[in-house]
Amino acid sequence: MSNPKRILLTGSAGRLGRAAVAGLAARGHDVVGFDLAPTPGLPADRSVVGTLADADALRRAATGVDIVIHLAATPDDARFPRGTPPDDGDNFLSDLVPNNVVGAYTVMEVVRRLGVPRVLLASTGQVIDGHLRADNVPVTPDTPPRPRYLYACTKVFLEALGRVYAAQHGVKVLAVRLGWCPRDAGQVAEIAASELAQDVYFSPGDAGRFFAAAAEADTWPSFAVVYASSRHTHRLRYDLTETTRLLGWEPREAWPTGVE
Ligand SMILES: NC(=O)c1ccc[n+]([C@@H]2O[C@H](COP(=O)([O-])OP(=O)(O)OC[C@H]3O[C@@H](n4cnc5c(N)ncnc54)[C@H](O)[C@@H]3O)[C@@H](O)[C@H]2O)c1
């Protein structure tokens, strides 16, 4: 493409990260990955192995980028609702707070200090899960949070964090309530068993094209919440109108295309 972007992609070795690497590379963007593990599909000098807890490493990786696409996180609750004692632990204090709350804050502070102009934050449809379960659909960007469990609470925080940095520091922030891109065979089976899950499925191909469209959009609003998923197969659950209006992106695929 004529105007390739330099992009820091956190969580680049994960399920959506690998889809983003593929979609961004296909469009000629210069991607620096940042993850606890090496990033498949990126050369060694573009694959930073590091933790969100290391602000210096993040700052080095983010220096000179046009956009940060922040995907790195603990992507779900480990066990919730809680079991019965003594087997009643979850991953809130051990993983969700350090990775999703403190880690997100560290990313936004690095962005603020470096003056990175745009940040895409990976939120989730789990923040409006209560509306989906109550059949209060389609949900729109204005639909207020009704989070599922504690993981979703960290993403409500993430959206609020983005809103604050946009308002106070002029960073342009897109908080994206992402559909379900399954990470393993168990999740594929869960989606296969649920019409609702199929309607919010997000194929790796659509995800890759979505991240490229976000990187390439000429203008971003100061702050926006949008949804991103593949096409619904049964009923419309996520209203993608605003996503298409802002980014010119539309999904091309539907469940089960792209399932691995
Ligand atoms: N896959 C989905 O269906 C889905 C849906 C909605 C939202 N999300 C969000 O999208 C993002 C990516 O999810 P995913 O499914 O690819 O998850 P994933 O677990 O496959 O990938 C997450 C990546 O982040 C990295 N990571 C975690 N903590 C880190 C830290 N402290 N420092 C550096 N790297 C760290 C992990 O090593 C991993 O490679 C997450 O923010 C998740 O909450 C995913």
What confidence score (pLDDT) does residue 51 get?
Answer: 98
Q: Is the CB of 15 under 6 A from ligand 1?
A: yes
CB atoms within 10 A of CB 126: 25
CA of 68 to the centre of ligand 1 (A): 15
Mean pLDDT of the chain: 97
User: Where does the chain have alpha helices with state H?
Assistant: 15-26, 55-62, 103-114, 129-133, 150-169, 185-192, 195-199, 204-216, 241-247
CATH of region 6-247:
3.40.50.720
Please, which pLDDT band fits residue 237 given cuts at 50, 70 and 90? very high
Closest residue to atom 34 of ligand 1, CA basis: 35
Report pTM: 0.98
Q: Span 174-182, mean pLDDT? A: 98
Beta carbon of 122 within 6 Å of any ligand 1 atom? yes
pLDDT at 2: 67
Ligand 1 in reach of 73 Cβ (< 6 A): yes
Domains of the chain by residue range = 6-247
Mean pLDDT of 186-192: 97
For 79-108, the pLDDT digits (tens) are 878 778 887 889 999 999 999 999 999 999
Task: Assign 16 a pLDDT band (cuts: 50, 70, 90).
Answer: very high
